[in-house]
Every structure is written in C-alpha cells, then in structure tokens.
Structure 1
Amino acid sequence: MKNIELFDDYTGAILALLYQSFPVPTALDARKLSGHGEIDEFGRIVDDMGRPSRSFEIAISTLGWLESAGFISSRQKNQYGHVQVTLTAQGLQLLNAVPDALKSKEPSGEKLVRFIREGSLGLARETVKAVIAAGVSAGLS
C-alpha cells in the first residue's frame, strides 16, 4: 500500500475515534493503528518480518501531521503515540461540515465513523480527502 493510502486510512481511523469520543481526550497509539507492536533489540517497532515498520512510521507521522496542521491537539507525546488527544475547534468544525464534494446532509464526522464501522475503507479515504481539502481551501490548516 502507498504511503498516502496508509495516511488516509490512519487519518480516517484517528478522526473517527476522536469524533466519537469528543470532548473526552483519548490516547492514540501508533502501534495499534499500524498493527505492529513488536520491538527489536534496538527499540524499533518492527513488522512481521522483523524489519523496521514502515506502517508504524506512517502512523506516528500521521499523528504529528494532524497536530501540526491544527486538526488535533495532544497534551503529551511519547515514542509510540500521543496522550490526551482531542479534536481542535478546526478539526471539529471540519468534521461537522458537509463538503459539497460529499453531496450529503450527513456531517463528515458521522459519515467517517459509519464508513470505518462498516469496513468501507475506500469511502472512508474519500471522506478524509474531502475533509482535508475543505480544511486547506478554508485556510484552517
């Protein structure tokens, strides 16, 4: 899978989880997001073959990007994820918006939660792309 596809998948999972838990902060662990939790003798997260996990790197980088873009905030970070994470006002505003590209009255956050729950990852990716695009065009990121 390409980096951008993993980014879209992880972004969808993160935003859906935070939307459901809002306003209660939650911990986000990139090991759980990536499905890789084994640690080698050097302290690196490795994949099933014992190689450094590219999926983990993308998951932890996705958390960092979402925070630097202003969609999420966290009180603390560690090598595996972020602690006490919540949507920012901008993140919540975007997930409550209904972008024209989605042609629906259902807020993006609700749609994203539903697609993740149903296992419709392709539709979740498209929703993520529309939400990020809406944030960029609105100058929120």
Structure 2
Amino acid sequence: MVAPTNLEFFETLTLALFQQLYQSFPVPIDIDPMKLAYSFLPENVEGEDGLRLFGAAEHTVAFLKREGFIEHGDMHLDDGTYVDVSLTSKGLLVMDSMPAPLSGSSTVAGEIRDLLGEVAKDGVKDGVREGAKRIITYILTSASSIMSAS
C-alpha cells in the first residue's frame, strides 16, 4: 500500500483525535501522537515514509492547538505524550454542529464516528480519505462562523 500524503494522514489523525477528545469531554486526557499515528499507519510503511508520518502526527497536535481547537498542558519529553488535552469551546461547538452538506449523521461528531467505524472495518481506503477530507474542510471553513453564531 502506498503511504498517505501528510495532508491525508493529518485528516485521519485529526478525526481520531477529535473523536477521543469529544468522548472524554470535559475530562482532559493524555495523547501520545506516536501511538495515535501507529494505529493509522498502513501496513508495510517504514523508513522515511514512517518517520515522515510520525512527524506529521506531532505537527497535527501543534496545528490544532495553534488554531484554537484543542488545548493541552505540557508534553512529556521522555515519550512525547501531551498531558491534559481537551477540546476548546471552539472544538466542542464544531463537533456539535449540524453540517448540512455532510451525509448521514446529524452532527460532526456522528460523521466522524461513522467514518472511523469504516476505518476499523476496512482500513483507510479512498472513500474514507474523501470522507475525511470533506469533514476536515467543513471543520476548518465553518469554525469561525459557528463561533460567531453562538
């Protein structure tokens, strides 16, 4: 299997991270980006591609914090785990929003749950990548309008 691009991997990891944080909300959890990345690495990805994707996982957490979707405490330098990670009000509002252009479930959280259920069954296939891209595009483009409407 061909290794995903950084953007494809970011989209999948973001959905998985949002789902974990939504399920634990309001209780913060610890997140190990390497473990999260490993759970979505395609079989037979190694070497430079593996290192690239593990790096993308760390940068995914940093991006989501910088954009105001999540917050976290310190990072443990010994294992790279971020402590006390939780959704911000912006992240929670996006997860609870009802995206008309998306299919099926009534909220973004439901869409993510359904899509990640497909990943658990079949792995990250092209249809799942398209679904992830659609959800991430919705999240990133609608976050400001959702925040101003609340």
More strand by share: 1
Partner of residue 14 from structure 2, selected from 2, 11, 14: 11
Partner of residue 125 from structure 1, selected from 122, 128, 133: 133
More helix by share: 2
Structure 1 residues 99-118: aligned runs within 5 Å: 99-102=99-102, 106-118=106-118
Contact 1:63 1:81 in 2 (8 A): no
CA RMSD of aligned residues (A): 2.5
Contact 1:67 1:73 in 2 (8 A): yes
Cα distance in 1 for partners of 2:147, 2:90 equals 10
Instruction: Report Cα offsets for 1:56-98 as digits up to 9, x if no partner.
Output: 1100000000001000000122342411100000100011011
Query: Scaled by the length of structure 2, what TM-score is found?
Result: 0.74
Contact 1:8 1:129 in 2 (8 A): no
Cα distance in 2 for partners of 1:124, 1:50 equals 24
Deviation at 1:20, TM superposition (A): 1.1
Contact 1:11 1:62 in 2 (8 A): yes
Contact 1:96 1:108 in 2 (8 A): yes
Cα distance in 1 for partners of 2:17, 2:85 equals 10
Structure 1 residues 60-69 or 115-124, which shifts more? Answer: 115-124
Total equivalences in the alignment: 130
Query: Scaled by the length of structure 1, what TM-score is found?
Result: 0.79
CA 1:139 to 1:97, structure 2 compared with 1: closer, same or farther past 3 Å?
Answer: closer
What residue number does 2:123 align with?
A: none
2:136 paired with 1:134: no
Cα distance in 2 for partners of 1:50, 1:2 equals 12
What residue number does 1:74 align with?
A: 72
Deviation at 1:103, TM superposition (A): 5.2
Structure 1 residues 69-78 or 83-92, which shifts more? Answer: 69-78
Deviation at 1:128, TM superposition (A): 2.1
Identity across the alignment (%): 27
Unaligned runs of 5+ in 2: 40-44, 120-126
What residue number does 2:122 align with?
A: none
The one-letter amino acid paired with 1:16 is Q
Unaligned runs of 5+ in 1: 37-46
What residue number does 2:124 align with?
A: none
Cα distance in 2 for partners of 1:50, 1:100 equals 40
Cα distance in 1 for partners of 2:141, 2:48 equals 36
SS at match of 2:117: helix
What residue number does 1:42 align with?
A: none
2:57 paired with 1:59: yes
Cα distance in 1 for partners of 2:95, 2:49 equals 36
